[in-house]
Structure 1
Amino acid sequence: MTDSEIFVSTTFSVAARCDKTNAFGAIVTTSSPAVGARVIQCQSDTGIVLSQNMTDPRLARIGMTILQDRFDASSALRAMKAATPYPEYRQLAVVDKDGHSDAFTGENAFGPHAGHYCEKNVATVGNYLSNPEIPKSMAEQYLTNHHLSFPDRLLDAIEVGFNLGGEVKDEKSIALVIYTDTTFPYIDLRVDWSDDPLNSMKKLWEVWRNHADTYRQKALNPNL
């Protein structure tokens, strides 16, 4: 396998707002390494932005800047598309502070299947997919599981993507990011290279869930 075959960024993702807590987060997986370093921009009380497929991380930062100025998801998406000379290669998704969502899949996004799906509070995107139903099915799963915690809803949603066949190539990295009410992430977990990234993330989350609230509280007030 050549280096170019290894590092093609083929990805499927779920970006969402929690309607119960107003937290924002995303879960992203890909067949290339260290997806968490390249795809996600998130901020509390602002929104979540993804840039994937021939990823240009600058686009997600542009989208977040637009959301910080209190424009909506569609405005952020338009700004990102306008900022790149290569929109046909990009795949973008946004969920804003009010739960409005928007997404874009360029005509040169990796096949055999590439697409997106948007509902209130969630946007899903994927490329190089083995099954065209993956984006819609992940979104529907997220919206169904109100009884789960926000991190578990995201994990459960992306597991649907895996179960439907995922990417044509085997997934190798995964990232889970959630912002609640602070300027630092409540969760920022990454599996940068694994033969079983989903189960590796599940195990990592089971460890982190027992410490997340404590770490947050100690950051805000070590005396408590």
Structure 2
Amino acid sequence: MAHQAFVYTELQLSVPFDQAPWREVNRALLKQPGLRNKTWLAGLGNHSLGGLYTFDSLADATAFVTGYFPAEAARFGTAQTTRVFDATVVEEASRQMDSPHFGHRLEQRPGAFVYTEVQISVPFAEAPWRDLNPMLKRQPGILTKTWLSGYRTNSVGGFYAFTDLDSATAFAHHQFPKEAATFDAAFYTRVFDAAQVAEASRELHSPFFVS
């Protein structure tokens, strides 16, 4: 069965990743129903902790964000952000962008990740991804993008891998705001240091860190 959902999480805290209890957390995550993989996220400049997860089903993803993850955030004593995305509607668009979530094997380990979300409600079939993908492929340092379509909200976003932090930061600061402006909408961006999370992500079968 193909995976049907993505989940994005972020905790409102500041913990250098090498001090985070990721080994303990990984053991608990490996027991979560329907979890296929997780890519850990370490916030650039603020040391937030988060992740992008793949689940077998939207039901499994929803159970995770309403059960396990709020309890984990409470254990850390912090507020949280979670988002659930429908993976079934973004496959074609993501494959065009060489997404490892849909089978593409990266030849280069990423140096940075970027998460984006635009505050709109557009069924993904009506989103202009065919126009945007060629432009995205020309962005300096980009390796891949997994498109994201909000479950029950139809927000439009993405999870990108870049070769380095400079390229990721330039995209988040300069290029993506121009994209969001075409929708006449507010937006959300985050940049993460991928180099710090390779070991922890590999333990959870992240498609970005295949041995």
TM over 0.5: no
| TM-score after normalising by structure 2 | 0.29
